[in-house]
């Protein structure tokens, strides 16, 4: 069953630049898919459409049970319960502890304190950071901050996890730790979409590869390769 489906999706920016042109694809529940392509190709725009940071101009899109074209602004938070997002720069709240950063994602949708405590401990166990539960972001390494960001992104058990260059700021050792974690989350049934410039990761951990150039899908391969010069 498709958990993401886009049909002839196009997106223009206000300055007239066309970011995406007639994008059509389907991603099945439980897939792990890389999104690759040169800088400025449209990868980030593509990803932002999926969690409704940006609106589709033409065409239609569906993520989980949500119709991106018809989704009202007030319903965007409901979509985002089904879609977790991990960013290159972590986006942790600097004045909140590790526990508070993760708990916050659950508090905003009205989860009970007992439920929050149980789930925060579960996800910190998964990412191997229970011992950092009272630390603040500035007391963590880059790799640890990204693991906390991943824990926060899956706190509400989303169906889809979108990772936008999640290893972009990390050294190779931490990058592989993050990838091992994403693989583990995928094996638990979460659909993962990962935009990346890391050819070594793509060519080593084989998954479907969708290549975007000049706003178009130019390649869609099962067990694909990166296919660009670093």
Whether 195 and 51 have beta carbons less than 8 Å apart is answered as: no
Contacts by residues 72-80 (CB-CB < 8 Å, ≥ 24 positions apart):
76/52, 77/108, 77/109, 79/51, 79/52, 80/51, 80/52
Torsion of CA 41, 183, 48, 116, to 10 degrees: -160
Could you tell me which of 26, 32, 33 has the C-alpha nearest to residue 5?
26
Tokens of 111: 């989860």
| Spatial contact of 146 and 91, defined as CB atoms under 8 Å apart | no
Which superfamily is assigned to 2-91+159-221 in CATH?
Answer: P-loop containing nucleotide triphosphate hydrolases (3.40.50.300)
Q: In whole angstroms, how far apart are CA 209 and each of 201, 202, 219?
A: 12, 8, 8
Separation of alpha carbons 181 and 188, rounded Å: 11
- List residues bridging with 155 in a β-sheet: none
Token duo for residue 4? 């993401």
Specify burial of residue 76 (Cβ count, 10 A radius: 0-12, 13-18, 19+): middle
Say if residue 204 is exposed, middle or buried (CB neighbours under 10 Å; 0-12, 13-18, 19+): exposed
* Residue 71: CB atoms within 10 Å: 18
Token output for 133:
């539960």
Output the tens digit of pLDDT for each of the chain's 230 residues.
Answer: 899 999 999 999 888 889 999 999 999 999 999 999 998 899 999 999 999 999 999 999 999 999 998 999 899 989 999 999 999 999 999 999 999 999 999 998 899 999 999 999 999 999 999 999 999 999 999 999 999 999 999 999 999 999 999 999 999 999 999 999 999 999 999 999 999 999 999 999 999 999 999 999 999 999 999 988 75
| Rounded Cα gap, residues 33 and 222, in angstroms | 9
Question: pTM, whole model, 2 decimals?
Answer: 0.94
């Amino acid at each position: 069953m498709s958990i993401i489906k886009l049909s002839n999706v196009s997106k223009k920016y206000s300055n007239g630049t066309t970011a995406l042109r007639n994008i059509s694809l389907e991603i099945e529940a439980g897939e792990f898919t890389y999104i690759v392509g040169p800088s400025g190709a449209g990868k980030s725009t593509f990803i932002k459409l999926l969690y409704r940071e940006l609106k589709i101009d033409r065409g239609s899109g569906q993520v989980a049970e949500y119709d991106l074209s018809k989704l009202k602004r007030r319903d965007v938070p409901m979509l985002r319960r089904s879609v977790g997002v991990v960013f290159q720069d972590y986006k942790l709240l600097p004045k909140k502890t590790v526990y508070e950063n993760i708990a916050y994602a659950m508090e905003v949708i009205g989860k009970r304190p007992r439920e929050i405590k149980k789930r925060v401990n579960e996800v910190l166990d998964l990412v191997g950071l229970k011992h950092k539960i009272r630390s603040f972001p500035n007391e963590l390494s880059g790799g640890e901050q990204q693991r906390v960001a991943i824990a926060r992104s899956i706190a509400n058990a989303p169906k889809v996890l979108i990772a936008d260059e999640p290893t972009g700021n990390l050294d190779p050792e931490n990058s592989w730790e993050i990838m091992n974690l994403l693989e583990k989350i995928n094996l638990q049934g979460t659909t993962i979409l990962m935009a990346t410039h890391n050819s070594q990761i793509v060519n080593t951990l084989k998954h479907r590869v969708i290549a975007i150039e000049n706003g178009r899908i130019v390649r869609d391969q099962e067990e694909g390769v990166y296919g660009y010069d670093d």
